[in-house]
Copies of this chain bind each other. A is one copy, B any other.
């Protein structure tokens, strides 16, 4: 995570912009018709996401494409995704691919090979990938190994932001919740690869919608960088995410998807920006989030620009 720490330091904020294109919500100027073919939708997604990258590349350290929406369009969608990743990387952004993959043995290695590795090392050339832990520690090893070989990262789901996430994750076994068991294992994987910044190649997904558990996990997982979803549309606030950071302002990136990329359609922005000015809305929402995180977190927790 040294590269991530450097990027956060360079931009002076820990904002991750989630690229979750949904065709019906694209700015009208980027849509053709509601019956558009997958190849035309994919072209809309490419133009939309590259347009967002143009705006946010000078402002934030990292973007997080949600693979599901590209996959929904089939092969043309995957082609658009690959182009978005390349475009973002060329403009200095790190790219976390949110695919929540998981499998065992050589199958896990195939997923890791597909997604991890900048330059020409993997097809989709991501800097990091999200991974689900249900299959156990041996299923995570191929992802961690590939990440180490390629100076990339793996973010393992620990405590997710959805209302029903606790159904399995909060079950108490041997005196602690399942998500604490997973967190402990993830931190031991992270510790084995800790770099100059103190964090390893292995990170954790911990939702902003559970601030108490977020604080507990920060204490319990000192070697693990957090990817924090749930800020904004899902209800998480700057105060909620403050506990995710260490005293240097490192240790976490906070994701916002809808609140930024569809800012042109937000009730509080809709009247200020015309459809053709959707990129101005993205810029305003990104700057507002950066300010909000700075104001809502204790002094020193977020580095000044």
Contact = CB atoms under 8 A, between A and B. Distances in A.
B168 A111 contact: no
Given A82-B75, A100-B101, A100-B102, A66 B181 contact: no
Q: How many copies of this chain? A: 2
B173 A172 contact: yes
A110 to B, nearest CB: 4
Contacts of A104: 160-162, 165
Contacts of A135: 100, 132, 157, 160, 162, 164-165, 168
Interface residues of A, number: 58
A9 to B, nearest CB: 31
Interface in A72-102: 72-79, 82, 100-102
Chain B CB count within 10 A is highest, among A69, A135, A178, for A135
A134 B82 contact: no
Contacts of A163: 138
A145 B133 CA distance: 24
A38 interface: yes
Given A138-B163, A168-B182, 20 more contacts: A66-B103, A71-B110, A71-B114, A72-B123, A73-B123, A74-B123, A100-B103, A104-B160, A104-B161, A104-B165, A105-B162, A132-B132, A132-B135, A133-B134, A134-B134, A134-B168, A136-B169, A138-B164, A139-B164, A171-B173
